Amino acid sequence: MKKILTFHSQEELISSTAAKFISIGLAAIRDRDQFSVTLSGGNTPKPLYEILAGPDADLLDWDKVHFFWGDERCVPLNHPDNNFNQANQILLSPRSIKDENIHRIRTELQPTESALQYQEEILSFFQGNIPRFDLILLGMGSDGHTASLFPGSDLIVGDLPSEDCLVASNWVPKLDAWRITFTHHLINIAHNVIFLVSGENKVKALKSVLEGPPDHKLFPSQLVDLDEGDLVWHIDHDAAAGLSEIN
């Protein structure tokens, strides 16, 4: 089921997302005794992680939360652009998350090896069951990319990867860089996916992704279409300005 929610400000967007994060986490721990969540990088989720590191999120049993990442830049672990490093400083370290609950992408490996290792770690974590994350957080760029599925990148311009490819290395010519990323196959089997989209620079791409004709090569975010779970777009008023209907 897909739902689109718009908010008057980024602050409202983040507050609502934090409440949803906690609600999904509580339900997952109640039902499965653990909460598997995939974090995203970029600027938009930073204030979310700050809320989750504070007392408003003390209700969660953080010893039962397992953290993954939907994509990663191939930069050193301590690099400011490293998605794990960002989340570690803002959320994981303040929460004293146990090492065994942190499943980062190994950027010290070569890209292809890193992607293969991460897929194996994910499959091992789910112990032979379908690797359905309780929650995947995603952003969307002004070019319509999500995770590291970029228009013009190797994973997008050719044939899409097979269904058994869950994590892949992806060469992005516009960035002249390798990225490690979840494929849309892994994203689409999640229990919950939340897109966080903020800012007027996202207006054109967001309208194309949500209301335009299907064209995943131009707008890879269109590939996110969950099989059974709940897909919710959390959009602030600035980003939603071009949509036909704003709730």
Whole-structure pTM value? 0.97
Please write the tens of the pLDDT for every residue from 213-235: 999 999 999 999 998 999 999 99
Q: What percent of the chain has pLDDT over 70?
A: 99
Total length of the chain: 247
Task: Reply yes or no on whether the pLDDT at 146 is more than 80.
Answer: yes
Task: Reply yes or no on whether the pLDDT at 246 is more than 80.
Answer: no
Give the 3-state DSSP-derived string for 5-20, with helices as H, strands as E and coil as C: EEECCHHHHHHHHHHH
Please write the tens of the pLDDT for every residue from 183-198: 999 999 999 999 999 9
Within 8 A by CB and 6+ apart from 247, the residues are 4, 5, 6
Task: Reply yes or no on whether the pLDDT at 6 is more than 70.
Answer: yes
Q: What percent of the chain has pLDDT over 90?
A: 92
Look up the CATH number of domain 2-242: 3.40.50.1360
